[in-house]
Amino acid sequence: MNFKKLRSLYVLSCIVLCLIFLSPTLAVIVPIPEGQKFSELWILGPAHMMEGYPFNVSAGKTYKVYLGVGNRIGHLGYYRVSVKVRTQSELSPNSSSGAPSSLASLFEYNVFLRDDETWEREFSFSFEGVSFEENTCRVSKVLVGDYTVDLNKVAIWNDTTSAFYYELFFELWIYNVASQSFQFNNRWVGLWLNMSKPL
């Protein structure tokens, strides 16, 4: 090996060693690209899996799912999950424009989550005061756990699928410190339910 090659190898190894020793300092000075920051919202079925969701429901029977929120935004997050019910004729949240549903919340969960922390709760619900008349179905009340909430929603019979449809859905909101208010996080999940007539 000649002297020029030996010198080049020596200089290259000195540079590599300097970079190794200086890497902790460089990490503070040079920003490392971070992964995508986002929040999660999910529903799991009664067996705590992505299956077995309730669909055909009846008055007076209790159903359950698991509702979850995940924080991947890189800092503490203050979340609100709004529980809403709509019929097919009412608008759902608009993911394209980032607009929430204009319907009132029936129930809300508020939770603080550290970065990379998740929150999950069993969500049980049932319907009361259900009546059928010609091609309509009226639901007067929904029970969320031990809380009874007035609903008063009327669904029209869907001839195509032979069902009275209601959607139980959940919107994710996050507290904005600058505006000092909750803002819709453009995350929502829902369950379509067919209210069955008693036999």
One-character DSSP codes across 81-138 = EEEEEEETTSPPPBTTTTBPPSSPPSEEEEEEE-TT-EEEEEEEEEEEEEEEETTEEE
- The answer on 180 and 98 residing in a single domain is yes
* CA 134 vs CA 54, 137, 167: distances in Å: 25, 8, 21
* CA 148 vs CA 81, 140, 170: distances in Å: 18, 10, 17
DSSP bridge partners of 171: 82, 188
- The answer on 147 and 55 residing in a single domain is yes
Q: With a cut of 60, say whether residue 30 has pLDDT above it.
A: no
Query: How many angstroms from the chain centroid is the CA of residue 65?
Result: 13
Task: Please write the tens of the pLDDT for every residue from 63-83.
Answer: 999 999 999 999 999 999 999
- The answer on 73 and 21 residing in a single domain is no
Q: With a cut of 70, say whether residue 193 has pLDDT above it.
A: yes
- The answer on 83 and 15 residing in a single domain is no
- The answer on 104 and 83 residing in a single domain is yes
Task: Please write the tens of the pLDDT for every residue from 13-28.
Answer: 767 665 666 566 555 5
What does the alpha-carbon distance between residue 132 and residue 50 come to, in Å, rounded to a whole number? 32
Number of domains in the chain: 2
- Predicted model pTM: 0.81
- The answer on 64 and 88 residing in a single domain is yes
* CA 90 vs CA 37, 111, 158: distances in Å: 31, 28, 14
Average pLDDT, the chain: 89
Report the sign of the C-alpha dihedral through residues 156, 91, 78, 149, in that order.
negative
Task: Please write the tens of the pLDDT for every residue from 104-141.
Answer: 999 999 999 999 999 999 999 999 999 999 899 999 99
At 198 the pLDDT is: 73
What does the alpha-carbon distance between residue 174 and residue 185 come to, in Å, rounded to a whole number? 6
At 7 the pLDDT is: 72
- The answer on 42 and 15 residing in a single domain is no
At 196 the pLDDT is: 85
- The answer on 138 and 97 residing in a single domain is yes
- Domain of 100, CATH number, reads 2.60.40.10
- The answer on 162 and 98 residing in a single domain is yes
At 36 the pLDDT is: 83
- The answer on 42 and 10 residing in a single domain is no
Return the percentage of the chain with pLDDT > 70, whole number.
84
- The tokens for 32 are 């490392």
What does the alpha-carbon distance between residue 191 and residue 85 come to, in Å, rounded to a whole number? 10
Q: Residue 12's pLDDT band (boundaries 50, 70, 90)?
A: low
- The answer on 77 and 49 residing in a single domain is yes
Which domain covers residue 23, as residue numbers?
Answer: 1-33
At 32 the pLDDT is: 54
- The answer on 155 and 89 residing in a single domain is yes
